[in-house]
Structure 1
Amino acid sequence: MIRNVLSEKDKVFSMEKIIEEDPDFIFVQAMGKVDKLEQRLKKDVESNSAWSSIKAVKMIDMVRRMRV
């Protein structure tokens, strides 16, 4: 079952909230050039060790390894 970890009352989310909820998926909506956005997201995730504890990020890493 997919559920939104942010409820209606959560107007703003934080890194702490994402870590606490430990989601299986993280959907990112952004505007701009896809390649630049992907590079920025990758840089942000790799530069903050807190991201590595999240299931969704672990899954991305596993998928990358399977592609090689």
Structure 2
Amino acid sequence: MSTSQPDASRRPSDDRATPDELLHELPADTTPEDLVLASGRDITPRTLAWAERKLASEGRAAFDKLLP
């Protein structure tokens, strides 16, 4: 008896990796809250002030230092 399994050569491959440029791309409208969350901290007035200073001095590169 045959099974109704699709031909293995016609199935899409699940071993494709997401390209680096998509993994590390930030949206244009990132906020200090995003930076706080990316750092693993809770959103408080103190951490928001830290994130605002960090974004003002480093720009979007502040995220590059936090995210892999």
Using the size of structure 1 for normalisation, the TM-score is: 0.31
Comparing both chains, which one has the higher relative contact order based on Cα–Cα distances under 8 Å and sequence gaps of 6 or more?
1
